Amino acid sequence: MQNSVLAIDIGSTKICAIIAEKKENDELEIIGTGITKSQGLKKGTITNIDLASKSIKAALNDAKRVAGKNIQKAVVSISGAYTKSINSNGIVNIPNKEITIKEINRVMQTALYNANIPHEYEVLHVLPYNFKVDDQEFVEDPLGMNAGRLEVDVHIITTQKSNLYNLKKAVKNAGVEVGNVVLSGYASSIAVLNNDEKELGVAVIDMGGSTSNLVIHIGNSIIYNDFLGVGSNHITNDLSMALHTPLSVAEKIKIEQGSLKSSESGTIEIPVIGDENTTHEVSLEIVYNVIFARVEETLMILAKSIEKSGLKEQIGAGVVLTGGMTNMDGMRELAVAIFDNIPVRIARPRELEGMFDELKNPAFSTAIGLVLYGAGKFTPYEIDSNKKLRHKSENISKEEITSTNISKDESQKTDDTSEITEQLTNLENIKNESESVKEKASKFWRWITQLF
């Protein structure tokens, strides 16, 4: 993989750009960070490309200035808004009786081919959650095993093409290309989960400024994801309306007085909307009731989503809460009560070298997760947003297996795909040979495009 990683978390409240460098011991060191207020975004989606691009560029320039590096490709987050997820299955025969990376690629591409994905949606992730080798289910890693047949169940996350296009355009206008697009909830799970939690099954909820993203992780993979367009900004809006005070004052009250524990007695004096020279007194009990009502409602909706998934009994490690909204005092205690007394913990992102205190806040879990994803810390196998197979133990930049998409307009046999994939991986070497060999490669490439 490349030695430097550029991650850009595009949230409704803030844009965070982080540049990290991989050291000789494979550890990551953060060498540049830029954080700016979001503009041109609402509930995690682009509503004004120009404004969003300016915000991204400002954060990006700050990170580059500190790092002293100019990286051209970025790993970028995308909100769970306008995403759809489906499960699919693929089966292939193993002609040589040994499972190689090509067979794993082929079976996952087959599962993707078998999925009924709407035309207006684009694939973000294809995540395998159950490999079956012959009759043996839930194989953790089939690579190198002897078998006659390989089967896989996958969770496919898709997003609207228009949503993805607008995101990529905003980033490109800011001066960098999009290398990979990662679901924000997936990125957060990479930053906060440990191996025991993944093995036992866990729900990760990232509660941000205007959105809450839910993913359920069982074993090596995400198996369910959901989205709620509610976050901490809604508490600010509720306080502003209930107390009849400007949003900036309401935000300050939320930060300084906000608590989900028993309300304090007393009053505070605050300005009135439209006439900030005039003040009035409000009870702290009203502040508490407004905040409590909003957070309770949000957690109850998320609890229903976990029930709807049908996976509640499989999340033995409970619920992990992260994101800026979880900084509120009393959040864990209220969540335990609402999630039927299953284990709940508030999670900060994994610490990396060079990480200053602000980045250790739960609000930056997605950003740190993107850095880790860019460094290869993802699900053992996945087909990414570029439709390429990624494998965590490989050198991604040089040994990545080229995706062999199976065209639904052709009846080509899946066994032929294995041969095509093998020949495709040799094209880079062919380029360095004589002109006559290059001509053969060109003819071969045209043959492939006709097939697909």
What pLDDT, in 10s, does the model give residues 113-129? 999 999 999 999 999 99
Cα(13)–Cα(38) distance, integer angstroms: 5
Asked if pLDDT for residue 374 goes beyond 70, the answer is yes
pLDDT digits 0-9 by tens, 262-295: 777 788 899 888 877 788 889 999 999 999 999 9
Structural domain boundaries enclosing 63: 1-193+349-406
Answer with the residue of higher pLDDT: 14 or 404. 14
219, 302: one domain = yes
Residues 341 and 369 in one domain: no
Last residue of a domain, one of 330, 346, 362: 346
What's the pLDDT at 408?
40
The stretch 71-96 carries a mean pLDDT of 94
Q: The CATH number of the domain where 37 resides is what?
A: 3.30.420.40
> What pTM does this model have?
0.85
Residue 448: pLDDT band with limits 50, 70, 90: low
- Name the CA radius of gyration of the chain, rounded: 24
Mark whether 201 and 119 lie in a shared domain. no
Same domain, 289 and 205: yes
**H helix intervals, 179-278:** 184-192, 195-200, 232-243, 247-257
In terms of domains, do 20 and 34 share one?
yes
Residues 395 and 423 in one domain: no
Residue 227 confidence (pLDDT) above 50: yes
Model confidence at 439: pLDDT above 90: no
Query: Count of residues for the chain?
Result: 452
Which amino acid, one-letter code, is at 60?
Answer: L
- Does residue 229 share a domain with residue 80? no
What pLDDT does 429 receive? 44
Task: Output the pLDDT for position 25.
Answer: 78
Tell me if 58 sits within 8 A of 192, measured CB to CB. Answer: no
Instruction: Indicate whether 134 and 16 sit together in one domain.
Output: yes
Q: H or E stretch including 47? A: none
Instruction: Count the domains in the chain.
Output: 3
- What would the mean pLDDT of 313-332 be, rounded to a whole number? 94
d(CA 226, CA 80): 7
